[in-house]
Amino acid sequence: MIQNKEIDANAPTPLKAPAIKTEANDNKLASLVLDSQCKDSENLQLPQIFLCGNDYFEVVGWNNPDLGRIETNLERRTIHNLTMRLGKDQLAKLPYFDKMVNVPGHHKDYKRVFPSTNGNGCVNLYNPLDYELAEGTFETIMTLIRHIFGELWLLGLDYLTILYRYPRHILPVVCLVSKMQGTGKTTFLMFLSYLFGKNMQINNKAGLNSDFNSYARCLIVAFEELSSAKTFTDKIKELSTAKTTMLNEKHKDVVKIDAFLKIIICSNSEDDFIKANEEDIRYLILKIDPIEEYDPQFEEKIKAEIPAFAKFLSEREIAHKEESRMWFHPDLLKTAQREKVIANSRSDCAKDIQSWVNDYCSENETVYICATIKDIANDIQPTYKRSEIESALKNEFKLTPKDGRYTNYLRQGGNGRYYTLQRVEPDVEVINNAQQINIPNDSLLPF
């Protein structure tokens, strides 16, 4: 078990910006006051309209029917817009902030405004959560977590806890794959959007391919129906570990911000949607089965349970101790589906070599074969250059040749630099080390 991390008591206190002063335009500004149900300017620690850097912004609240609650947004405004509404004289009286920052935090750990050395303050791009913590149960949410993460549901619960409590910490790229429809992948993404609000963005392949990256300031971005992300492997690796990034939003200046992005990939290609190798510990790849029984009220139940579940995340003890850059021990991420993806990420030459080895071992009831590069080149089909075979054996099989006498695949004695290749069953199940953690799982839930 790990000790809960303490919140820094010396963290800067929020700076309360001055309110807008109006005289002749009181009647105009009165129409702009937010609904009484919405978090007002004082609670947000922002005036309703303000200038930050070179841009004007307005705090706008609206009743989001999808969320069933009031949602607040920072909307950019033009000088022309504000002049028409407030009058030119009022623009000079608007509160001013020095810059935008991107600092994650949830509920009691959240700050909308931070002090600056110039004394004007900095506005936080990270969005507040538009709900309060509450007592209650969350059986529906736990049903979803158990369905998505399967035997690794406790790891999934820790993943969500770390997202909520330690949002800056790097976490694995979660990949949810299935050829089937009705698996609950999209429902899980909607659950995350209810839990983390506008700090979670759902995108598609076009968003990953675009130069614009509004998602870079979020906590989570999910790419749906990504049949192949092989061409974006390097970009995904960079996004999932970057501590700073260049935020490039449409019609806005490119700015450097703090980054803490977590990536989720949903794909209907189970085995070959991305390139991965044995040394790559950043992916948690889960094959999702179809939901057996459809509940038309499932999402509504999830929405209702969010405040209680968030309170649970804020208080529970994390079961898996921090053991890597991605928090979890690499062995915990070695799922059967991950092994299939790694096998499919190999070159055609490596795949054909493994197929050749498997066929020989199956026919001769053995588990390994000894062969030189010449042996392989003479027998494998289709033919490959010896340099390709050597590269596959060294870089993909991670094998080192031995010098000396050996018995080859024809059961003939030979002498030379030979490799020992093992049979690999394509559908072998991987026993995940998460099952070996001796924790009374059900006792971790408050019901």
* 447 residues of the chain, pLDDT tens digit each: 333 333 333 333 333 333 333 333 333 333 333 332 233 333 446 888 999 998 999 988 888 777 667 778 888 899 999 999 988 888 888 999 999 999 999 999 999 999 999 889 999 999 999 899 999 999 999 999 999 999 999 999 999 999 999 999 999 999 999 989 889 999 999 999 999 999 999 988 777 778 888 888 999 999 987 666 666 778 888 888 889 989 888 877 788 889 999 999 999 888 878 888 777 788 999 999 998 888 889 999 999 999 999 999 999 999 999 999 999 999 999 999 998 888 888 888 998 998 899 988 888 888 888 889 988 988 887 788 999 999 999 988 889 999 988 887 777 778 889 999 988 765 444 444 444 444 434 445 554
The beta-strand segments (E) located in 231-277 are: 244-247, 255-258, 262-267
Q: With contact defined as beta carbons under 8 Å apart, do 72 and 197 qualify?
A: no
Q: Look up residue 41 and give its two tokens.
A: 């300017």
Contact 67, 130 (CB under 8 A): yes
If we measure between CA atoms, which residue out of 152, 149, 175, 159 comes closest to residue 266? 175
Burial (0-12, 13-18, 19+ Cβ within 10 Å), 163:
buried
Q: Can you list the alpha helix ranges (DSSP code H) found in 225-372?
A: 233-241, 298-315, 336-344, 348-364
Residue 190: its pLDDT value, please? 94
Separation CA 93–CA 21 (nearest Å) = 7
Q: For residues 299 and 187, what is the distance between their CA atoms, to the nearest angstrom?
A: 7
Q: Helix or strand or coil: residue 115?
A: coil
pLDDT at 249: 83
- CB neighbours of residue 346 within 10 Å: 18
Closest among 62, 368, 310 to 192, alpha carbons compared = 310
pLDDT of residue 61: 83
* CA–CA gap between residue 113 and residue 106 (Å, rounded): 14
Q: Hey, which residues does 96 pair with through a beta bridge?
A: 51
